[in-house]
Structure 1
């Protein structure tokens, strides 16, 4: 890939960085300008991610199109310079991230961006950090992007007011600082053995690692993995997640749905690059740990769903179930199973994000005793114009418009998360179970994973049905709250994407099968990094 198309690789990092820096030049009274800047930047990020998805998936369509592509930062050749690499997997994650970013940001315009200063700048910096984590081909640069996204998330999680939000945020910050320390220790140990942190270069050097150094290398990888697993929410390192996500503002929690997937992505990437079948004695390192940890996380999440009293806690525990499913499936392995897991990753992330957006309007009329104690929502000076007004004449209408919209979206989310047919959640779970049953030598762990997948869907359906009856379909004395058009549109967009996943499940699954094949055979990835030449001679 040459010419201006080549710079599309770095655009997901530069665009939000420049837009957020520009916003800092304006004070908070320029709210409308900041909104247009952030919405425009996030829309361009979606277009850029879609272009990268097309470029990496159209092998043979033209010169420089198809397969992984490499961007040399500083025009230094690998492994001495830092590289950005986009392939099928990273392009898919970029598109998913920026779809969530745009819809969450759109939803925040209803009122949430006015609850504190610098919301839009922090939001774009978080997108920059997540995008960079998906693009980087260097482990230390991965640490840099991790710190960028974490620093922005600290500001966003504290955005607003309330004792519960502040307390949960401090726990979140403390845990992630400890995880960053583990990250650095793991990186130092790996570098001491291999002398490089470039992922492609590491893959070639691990094969030549002697038995004396292999134990130190695996220790470094294990410590590094713990840092990623904290972010992925594996049990018993997941106690912080449901409470933190429940305390966050709805658009922040909706974007945070992708945060656990950053940890999953890194584990997925490094597992196949560094510990794949061609890695010699290091092949399959920690697969058993991922399997057992994933199953335990699923069981913990199911119990959390059944015991939750607030919908935000239900959503947070479902995030744990999805992380556990992905980690356990990764521990079992297999090309068909990885493709099904990627489909599940996309579907579940979209559904959880939509649920976080729909929870707040659903619970507006709930009694104070049913809400999270201590979370004080911000007071806003401006009233926003609702798509459905509170004082509408509902005479003769069986179901008020607000309840109809919220009820429909809520049912859609419940069916998606429970995995009932014919939606994308069912297709994903069916594909996972099918891959587990068709795998050679189906063992007790496969059956355990299948049982937990079915049990988690049943638990989700029971709890969501109970919540829907209590909050939506039980007649109340008060009229339904207003529902802003700004709130309806992003929820509708996310559910529409989930519907599109169902309608075009065949082409999507074909793409993910090709992605899984590329992960299992990373030769193209390694070759792309190795042959990336500096422009105009540069620094060979």
Structure 2
């Protein structure tokens, strides 16, 4: 057996072992902990890139499953199965890239702001890797909980009343979502007798008519749990404050956490309720479409109302979530392909924005946001009240503000979806699929709800552009007081690297679109996924 097939367990075992080992290191040895954590992160990124190459090179055509891994070699559906395909590989690589940038950024000061930062960070990565690779609903719940438990500690990392209050809100909401997750999983298991995703997909068409309502109830409850994490309106009011309160590198990696809910909905809606599901085909799709549209309306309003950059970034996350949820609800392979491109581009740009905010705010007069007219709506603490530590970081470099301004402008183009960066290609690919511009239909055949979604995607980009221009003018063009920011190379480098990656996605847009097209076709034709997973285990090898 090819040893590379065992790489499927590395995204789970590597951060688990690293996090456990770091617990044994004294908290005062910051350099040693940072070195071990960074080395592990680089190795994890290399493994993620290798897995992405394996998934893209899967034999058998665009719909082929790369491999499935049965832990302990038990046959599916009894095995704990890890599944690698183009979608899971893409999400793993995206998480590894953002995590590496966040970790490097944190080395300036944040990894010393509280205990066990690196252990919590590694456990978060373990949960993300397991959530993207698992082929079982119960194990998805387990990895969700690992991710959330680590995120609780990371969100509270640092100090400040605002951070603690927002963290407690975040914890309580996600605990409620976890309860819904468990209830939904229990209802589905009670009806079907299995939680293996492939086995569920194979059994659903044969579910008796008298049990379908209970199954749909379980799927709806489970979907609500995912939608809380994806922050769909009206379940996403917690996100702007929570992400704004988090330390900059933590907020950056939290952008990936929001996409876990989107990933789960995309995976399960097409696998369980795709065309082979019979009378259950398309279940929940309309709710996702209209929920995404409502989220876009809410988030667009929030972007225009935001006076602080932290809140602006939080509502930008909601715009991304609303766009992706609506695209998933449409159920079209071309739209999903563009949505996957958009998922990568928007996640990278928003993560870079969260890190940039901390550096830019060092060049502003403390409390400047309190002068904004609409700030009173957000409480006495104000939008900018993260209560950062008083520790000064970096050196005051005259050219730093120019570099930060260029980065800010690039992020504005990405969030607005304007050329020449990858945000434009992503939105163009989605809109092409929505308007059916490949010659398969006429504009008169396009539903009104699709036109509404197209308009909102364009308007949300315009709102982001207006908000970013307003903030940029206030920050870089006409500041109340000129302050030279203090920055370190280790803080600017991750931001520049993420923006360079977006530029690379623009130059290599054709290859990226080819990958997302293949991933979307595979999701809409899950036969290879089902056959590959159910044939795993008890064959003398634990890989198929």
Same fold (TM over 0.5): yes
The one of 461, 468, 473 aligned to 1:464: 468
Check conservation: 1:291, 1:332, Cα contact below 8 A: yes
Check conservation: 1:163, 1:374, Cα contact below 8 A: no
Alignment of 1:129-528 (within 5 A): 129-369=127-367, 370=369, 372=383, 374-380=385-391, 386=394, 389-390=395-396, 400-438=398-436, 440=441, 441-474=445-478, 477-528=481-532
Alignment of 1:42-121 (within 5 A): 42-60=41-59, 67-121=65-119
Aligned to 2:32: 33
Aligned to 2:374: none
**Stretch moving more, 432-441 or 152-161:** 432-441
Check conservation: 1:23, 1:121, Cα contact below 8 A: yes
Check conservation: 1:137, 1:200, Cα contact below 8 A: yes
Aligned to 1:530: 534
SS of residue paired to 1:368? coil
Q: Distance in 2 between matches of 1:340 and 1:375?
A: 35
Aligned to 2:8: 9
Aligned to 2:376: none
SS of residue paired to 2:435? helix
Using the TM superposition, give the Cα deviation of residue 90 of structure 1 relative to its aligned residue in structure 2, in angstroms.
0.1
Q: Distance in 1 between matches of 2:43 and 2:305?
A: 41
> For the structure 1 residues 537 and 338, does the alpha-carbon distance in structure 2 shift closer, same or farther, using more than 3 Å as the test?
closer
Aligned to 1:395: none
Q: Distance in 1 between matches of 2:499 and 2:166?
A: 29
Using the TM superposition, give the Cα deviation of residue 437 of structure 1 relative to its aligned residue in structure 2, in angstroms.
0.9
Check conservation: 1:189, 1:216, Cα contact below 8 A: yes
Aligned to 1:19: 18
Q: Distance in 2 between matches of 1:417 and 1:373?
A: 21
> For the structure 1 residues 402 and 373, does the alpha-carbon distance in structure 2 shift closer, same or farther, using more than 3 Å as the test?
closer
CA deviation string 1:114-155 (max 9, x = no partner): 110100110111011011100000000000000000000000
Using the TM superposition, give the Cα deviation of residue 475 of structure 1 relative to its aligned residue in structure 2, in angstroms.
5.2
Using the TM superposition, give the Cα deviation of residue 373 of structure 1 relative to its aligned residue in structure 2, in angstroms.
5.6
Check conservation: 2:307, 2:383, Cα contact below 8 A: no
SS of residue paired to 1:533? coil
SS of residue paired to 2:72? helix
Q: Distance in 1 between matches of 2:384 and 2:484?
A: 22
Q: Distance in 1 between matches of 2:483 and 2:81?
A: 56
Q: Distance in 2 between matches of 1:265 and 1:208?
A: 26
Q: Distance in 1 between matches of 2:160 and 2:213?
A: 47
> For the structure 1 residues 368 and 20, does the alpha-carbon distance in structure 2 shift closer, same or farther, using more than 3 Å as the test?
same
Check conservation: 2:64, 2:528, Cα contact below 8 A: no
Higher relative contact order (CA 8 A, sep 6+): 2
Specify every segment of 5 or more residues in structure 2 that has no aligned partner in the other structure, as ranges: 370-381
**Stretch moving more, 475-484 or 321-330:** 475-484
Two-structure CA RMSD over aligned residues (Å)? 1.8
Q: Distance in 1 between matches of 2:541 and 2:489?
A: 54
Specify every segment of 5 or more residues in structure 1 that has no aligned partner in the other structure, as ranges: 393-399
Number of residue pairs aligned between Structure 1 and Structure 2: 523
